[in-house]
Amino acid sequence: MASSSQARCVFLGAPGAGKGTQAKRVAEGSGLTHLSTGDLLREEVKSGSELGVEAKGYMDAGKLVPDQLIIDMVKARITGEATANGESGLLASSGWILDGFPRTLPQAEALDTNLSGDNALTHVISFAVPEVALMGRLTGRRTCSKCGAIWHIEHKPTSKEGVCDQCGGELTQRSDDREEAIGKRLEVYRSQTAPLLAYYSDRGVLKEVDANRSPDVVFQELLTHMQ
């Protein structure tokens, strides 16, 4: 995937559409930096930071964390000013994938402001999955608490229940992958995130992928789009 290592992408889709799984896989194979706002927020929650404490209530309820908190968090990652462990910001890497950001029009506008000129987006990939399929994907999803690998109790089970095949870590269910929160998350996607499809289509960078297929098939198609 050498030619895509310069790509500056957004992966857009409803919860459970497979953005995170595919973003990890594409990043591993291409050297692109993968930035997931959901993962960043879960780290903040785990560490008990001020941002984490504030974000947790929204996340558990299936709501979006307020724009300004997210925009500040992402902006700091773009410029590199908030990376405590010495990583440089996205602008210093040759290509990257934003997974789960932007999710609202104000976030998309803020991103445009921070990524003008040579840093402008090259691809926005929309992961299309019918809503009926998303509920089962989300309720069955399990994540390794140690390495972050994503499994599914039916579609991608581990050989030993509750234990990660990759590293032996314990599998956990995300607190927002329970039915009560999932309904809200899907509604939030429809009302606040889906309008971004038109926003990016108007800018000529949008590609839609039928993500209601096996992860391997979706991955192969992604590679063709990202050339």
Among 9, 41, 110, 138, binds ligand AMP (CB under 6 A): 41
141 is catalytic: yes
d(CA 22, CA 8): 15
- Contact by Cβ (8 Å): 100, 36: yes
CA distances from 39 to 43, 81, 207, 209, 214 (A): 6, 18, 24, 23, 23
Six-digit token pair at 103?
């999710």
Decide if residue 14 touches ligand AMP (CB under 6 A). no
Neighbours of 201 (CB within 10 A): 14
Active-site entry in 24, 103, 137, 142: 103
Strand partners, 170: 163
Where b means 16+ CB within 10 Å and e means fewer, 212-221 reads: beeeeebbeb
Decide if residue 103 touches ligand AMP (CB under 6 A). yes
Q: Tell me which stretch binds ligand AMP (CB under 6 A): 27-35, 62-70, 130-138, 219-227.
A: 62-70
Decide if residue 151 touches ligand AMP (CB under 6 A). no
Decide if residue 37 touches ligand AMP (CB under 6 A). yes
178 is catalytic: no
Q: Alpha helix locations (H) across the chain?
A: 19-30, 37-47, 50-60, 67-79, 105-114, 131-139, 179-188, 195-202, 215-225
CA dihedral sign of residues 51, 82, 126, 217: negative
Q: Which CB sits closer to ligand AMP, 54 or 221?
A: 54
Q: Which CB sits closer to ligand AMP, 38 or 89?
A: 38
d(CA 52, CA 44): 4
Q: Which CB sits closer to ligand AMP, 164 or 182?
A: 182
Strand partners, 206: 124
Among 26, 149, 176, 200, binds ligand AMP (CB under 6 A): 176
Among 11, 101, 151, 189, binds ligand AMP (CB under 6 A): 101
190 is catalytic: no
Q: Which CB sits closer to ligand AMP, 73 or 218?
A: 73
d(CA 71, CA 89): 15
Which residue has the closest beta carbon to ligand AMP?
38
Q: Tell me which stretch binds ligand AMP (CB under 6 A): 21-29, 101-109, 112-120, 133-141.
A: 101-109
Judged by CB under 6 A, how many residues of this single chain contact ligand AMP?
A: 17
* Residues contributing to the site for ligand AMP (CB under 6 A): 15, 37-38, 41, 58-59, 63-65, 70, 100-103, 107, 176, 185
Catalytic site positions = 19, 103, 141, 174, 185
